[in-house]
Structure 1
């Protein structure tokens, strides 16, 4: 099932994707094995991806 499952989840899978994500239309998650530094986002900025911690 695509899209949010609760009201706290973003609208992944139901909005138009940014052109930089071309080729990833069939997935909503990409594995990543590196380190990420915390980031701040300017109001009104397009957030193209979010991080899902290990579980």
Structure 2
């Protein structure tokens, strides 16, 4: 019975960690895309453009 509880806790932790990792990966991917856009000069924030 204790082993079952421990197994469920471990599984929950694994799921939580993988969710966290995929969020981090998505964030890194997004930052990478922004960075490469800026390097191409495509992403000029509109508030920096002269009116």
Whether the TM-score (by the shorter chain) exceeds 0.5 is: no
Higher helix share: 2
Q: Which has the higher contact order (CA 8 A, sep 6+)?
A: 1
The structure with more radius of gyration: 2
